[in-house]
Structure 1
Amino acid sequence: MDRIKERLASLKAEADAAVERAEAAEAKVKTVEQTLLSREQDVTSLQHRLSVAESDLDKAESKLAEFKRLGAEGESSRTTAEALQRKIQLLEEELDNAEKTVKETVEKLRQVDIKAEHFERQVQRVEQERDQWEKKYEDMKIKHDQSKKELDELVLNMESI
């Protein structure tokens, strides 16, 4: 009888441990999902910044083209040409800065995509672990119920003796 009680206590401890592991795995999945959501928001933000940078780049390129055209037509005045050259230089610097920003944004977006894929793989792995723990838990629960039933039958048999 003591052995049965010990066995039941052991099974109960195993079941409790399995439940704790399952809860820990679920908590881990939740944090990974939150991180993934945060990364997706970062991607959206970076995409918006990229579109704004591209728009600025287009504007800068159109301004640059306009100032170059004006520079070709306005050579009648040396001071005007010098002023336009300064503006062109500033626009080219802005263009260089905009291109640099676009490159950085694209690189950040690529890194975020890589991280998102990594987190998706982690989520899949954690979900698989969770499924395995749930299956183990169900198996242990069935074994526990069977052991309990056998114990009850044994108690009835012992009482009838």
Structure 2
Amino acid sequence: MDKFKEKLAALREEVNAALARAETAEMEVKRLNDEINEKDHQITSLQNKVTLTEAELEKAENKIAETKLNLDEGETTKTVGEGLARKVSLLEAELETAEHNLRDTTEKLRQMDIKAEQFERKVQHLENERETYERKIEDLTSKYNGIKAELDETLKSLEDM
């Protein structure tokens, strides 16, 4: 009888440990989902920045094109031409900066995509683990119920004697 109680206590401890692991896994899944949502927001923000940078780049290219047209047409004087040349240099510098920012933003977006994929894989792995633990818990519960039924039958047969 004592051995049975010890086995029953051990099974309860295993069930409690499995429940604790399942709760830990669920908390981890929630945390990872929160991180994924945060990364999605960051990706959206970076995509908006890319769009704005592309618009600025287009404006800068348009300004450069206009400036070059004005220089080619020779409508301005030498002084105006020199001023426009300075503007072109500034716009080209802004263009370089915008292109650099675009490259950085694109790289960050790529890294975020990679991280998001890694988190998705980790979530899938954790969900698989959780399912495995749930199956183990179900197996242990059915074993427990079987042992309990067997104990009840044994006790009943002992009482009948």
User: TM-score interval w.r.t. the shorter chain?
Assistant: over 0.9
Q: Aligned partners of 2:120 and 2:105: how far apart in 1? A: 22
CA contact (8 A) 1:74 1:80 kept: no
Q: State the TM-score, normalized to the length of structure 2.
A: 0.96
Question: Gaps spanning 5+ residues in structure 1: where?
Answer: none
User: What is the CA–CA distance in structure 1 between the aligned matches of 2:158 and 2:76, rounded to whole Å?
Assistant: 118
- Once the two structures are aligned, what percentage of the paired residues are identical? 47
Instruction: Tell me the equivalent position of 2:113.
Output: 113
Query: What is residue 58 of structure 2 aligned with on the other side?
Result: 58
Contact 1:53/1:98, CA 8 A, preserved across alignment:
yes
In structure 1, what is the Cα distance between the partners aligned to 2:31 and 2:76?
Answer: 67
Aligned length: 161
Partner of 1:12: 12
Deviation at 1:152, TM superposition (A): 1.3
Normalising by structure 1, we get a TM-score of 0.96
Tell me the equivalent position of 1:146. 146
Distance in 2 between residues matched to 1:121 and 1:114, nearest whole Å? 11
SS in 2 for 1:72: helix
Q: What code does the residue aligned with 2:148 have? A: K
Shift of 1:76: 4.8
* Residue pair 1:15, 1:137 contacting (<8 A) in 2 also: yes
CA contact (8 A) 1:25 1:126 kept: yes
Deviation at 1:74, TM superposition (A): 3.6
Matches within 5 A, 1:34-49: 34-49=34-49
Q: For each residue in 1:2-52, what CA deviation from the matched residue of structure 2 results, as whole angstroms up to 9, or x when unmatched?
A: 111111111111111111111111111111111111111111111111111
**Unpaired stretches in structure 2, ≥5 consecutive residues:** none
How big is the shift at 1:73? 2.2
In structure 1, the residue matched to 2:100 is 100
| Kept in 1: contact 2:43–2:109 (CA 8 A) | yes
Mapped partners of 1:11, 1:138: distance in 2: 12
CA distance in 1, matches of 2:139, 2:76: 92
